Amino acid sequence: MVIGHRGLGKGVVDGHAENTQASFQAAVDLGVQWLETDVRACGDGTLVLAHNPTTAEGRFFSELSFTEASADGLATLDELLEWVPEGIGLNLEVKSALEDAVKPRAQTTAGLFAARVAEIRREHRLLVTSFDPAALLIVRERAPEVAIGLLGWVAYPLRKVIPAAAHLGFEAVIAHAAAFGPNSTDSAPFHREASWAIGIAHEAGLQVAAWCPGPDAAVQLIEAGVDAVIVNEVPGVLAALGARGAEV
């Protein structure tokens, strides 16, 4: 499965800015069946689609009302849910804010989002992910039936993130593409084959995805057995898979 990262891809791809309806629509038009996007909270509790914690001018969403934050054409979660075509799956990534550390659980980004999760799942195919395991546990408390995936940070070792996802009781693990082999971040002198690690994850009952592989790496990871790739530059990845006869 190819999942469009922030729509058609990170930044601006084919003229479409990330996390906008135009970018989501362009990815769907190319045949992508799942979309990934970032969910964070403004200071007034409005859930918006934004990867970075600040506006383009450097103002933190956590300190702004939606009205104050929306000058950049910021989209809301509600707008996405109203638009998303029937049958298109949503991978919603919860973006915790530093201020969440001093808030009651229900008022954190995850708590505000969790209050909506059961409703969203009734209408849409849904996977909730986060780099923050506590955020995922808050979501699990409110909506135990929702599929949850733990994200591993850039090149974060599979030997850590796969057991963590399994024993936290999640359904999926999403590791950075570089984590599936030797890399400059992980100083371990020896690495298992990607297919071996993916097999262990599957044995533990986890679905496995890789985030942000390039076209060639996406093909290799699919051949190694991952269930999904969350990709930037969707057109290039689809072209590479099509050249190898792979299905989206």
Enumerate domains of the chain plus CATH numbers: 2-243 (3.20.20.190)
CA-to-CA distance for 15 and 52, rounded, in angstroms? Answer: 20
Burial (CB count within 10 angstroms: exposed 0-12, middle 13-18, buried 19+), residue 69: buried
Query: What confidence score (pLDDT) does residue 108 get?
Result: 97
Q: Rounded to an integer, what distance in angstroms lies between the CA atom of residue 200 and that of residue 66? A: 43
Q: Taking the mean position of all CA atoms in its chain, how far away is CA 42? A: 19
Single-letter amino acid, residue 77 = L
CA dihedral sign, ordered 160, 163, 168, 173:
positive
Please, what sign has the CA dihedral across residues 166, 169, 172, 176? negative
What integer pLDDT is reported at residue 72 of this predicted model? 72
Residue-level pLDDT at 245: 57
* pLDDT attached to residue 70: 86
Q: How far is C-alpha 248 from the geometric centre of its chain's CA atoms? A: 18
Q: Tokens 């530059």 correspond to what residue? A: 233
pTM > 0.85: yes or no = yes
What average pLDDT values come out for the chain (248 residues) when binned by 10 residues?
96 94 96 97 96 93 93 90 96 97 96 95 95 97 95 96 98 98 91 95 98 96 97 93 66
Report the DSSP pairing between strands 12-13 and 34-41: unpaired
